[in-house]
Amino acid sequence: MNNQGLLQRLFKLQEHGTTARTEVVAGMTTFLTMVYIVFVNPQILGVAGMNTQAVFVTTCLIAAFGSILMGLVANLPVALAPAMGLNAFFAFVVVGAMGISWQVGMGAIFWGAFGLLLLTLFRIRYWVIANIPLSLRVGISSGIGLLIAMIGLKNAGIVVANKDTLVAVGDLTSHSVILGAVGFFIIAILASRNVHVAVLISIVITTFIGWLLGDVKYSGVFSLPTNIGEVIGQANLKDSFHLNMAGIIFSFMLVNLFDSSGTLIGVTDKAGLTDEKGTFPRMKQALYVDSISSVAGAYAGTSSVTAFIESSSGVSVGGRTGMMAVVTGILFLLVMFLSPLAAMVPAYAAAGALIYVGVLMTSSLSRVQWDDLTEAVPAFVTAAMMPFSFSITEGIALGFISYCVMKLGTGRWREISPCVIAVAILFICKIALIG
């Protein structure tokens, strides 16, 4: 069997109206739009005390593993990598603000991913997705976006702590603030002009300017993967499997559930693969791959893994099968030898990307029924409490509880699903017993 025959057998190219060349181009396009994660993720997790070079390597490995597995098992044009948002929550909130060691925090990510895998195995995941109201889903997504933006503003020095007003504007004349803002506007302007690699271009430009200013030290381009033993297998599963960690574990699981499921539906819909109910071929296999990749990611020492919406860029140039995802995964393996470049990226270079992701995630607030306060109030509480409490967990908890309060208080208790009631009761118990 020749190569064309093998590819046809694996990916059914003709049935999907595509060619090997088109899939390769689509895979390269997707890679270029999401490769920024291998530079941003180490910079963020490094704040938690993790070895940045090791995180760079594991980020590449897990992105390759998840993408290739998705392509071969589910034959879908969807690439996976460590998620933006949850990596910031892990580094700045779980480890930074709560004082939990990164090993225990990584254990919480593992148990959250394992819980997601169990939900998928027992088909509870589909029930949860169908029974969480839109207002709470939007509130969770938007709240994470606001929290990410807050972290990005803080990293750039645009927002600083203030004992009287809690926060204040930083020194707007400092080059970290200026470059953080420049990086953000580069992304926003290029993205508005449909430049798919806007984030990567911004990181390269701001890092180069930082090098000219003496903030960045050049340490080479190529390097063999090193120090990966410092993060792989270091998740503390014993100490993280504790009642005090229940809220954090649940937050990782719930956010990853909505994030990955929503992205899978969005990308496959763009590829013309979904039906009127939003389901798509090999959905079961795709959800399994997503869950397994998150478990593997936590073991490897990186944040929760999810399907990347940037996969839609590959779909836009013709990608229709898993071959696109496999090509993207292979390219992540090749970039693994560029770890010195990742070590050069300063905090303000990544800040622009964080703020931009925040913009994208908060845009979903437009879907809230603002004329119905029983939907608007829970969405607002969920979204607002995440940045104000600096905690995704507290935002989710108060959002679910406020949803039940609003529906009960207005006599519309029949609109509360058993799933929402169960989650709200769990969070009330958590607040009463743990705080």
Q: How far apart are CA 5 and CA 275, in angstroms?
A: 29
CB-based burial label for 164 (10 Å; 0-12, 13-18, 19+): exposed
Query: What pLDDT, on a 0 to 100 scale, did the predictor assign at position 381?
Result: 96
The torsion angles phi and psi of 166, rounded to 5 degrees, stand at 70, -55
Asked if 40 contacts 83 with a C-beta cutoff of 8 angstroms, the reply is no
Closest by CA position to 402, among listed 431, 424, 371, 432? 424
What is the length of the chain?
435
Query: What pLDDT, on a 0 to 100 scale, did the predictor assign at position 165?
Result: 86
Q: How far apart are CA 304 and CA 91, in angstroms?
A: 12
Instruction: Compute CA distances 97 → 48, 100, 258, 294, whole Å.
Output: 10, 8, 25, 24
Query: What pLDDT, on a 0 to 100 scale, did the predictor assign at position 269?
Result: 76
- Inter-helix orientation angle 20-34/198-212, to 10°: 40
Query: What pLDDT, on a 0 to 100 scale, did the predictor assign at position 209?
Result: 93
pLDDT digits 0-9 by tens, 177-195: 999 999 999 999 999 998 8
Query: What pLDDT, on a 0 to 100 scale, did the predictor assign at position 339?
Result: 77
Residue that has been written with the tokens 């599963």 in this structure: 237
The torsion angles phi and psi of 123, rounded to 5 degrees, stand at 60, 20
Q: Which residues of the chain are modeled with pLDDT < 70?
A: 1-3, 275-278, 434-435
Element (H, E) at 160: strand 159-162
User: In the structure encoding, which two tokens stand for residue 153, read together?
Assistant: 């503003």
The model's pTM: 0.83
Bridge partner residues of 168 (DSSP)? 160
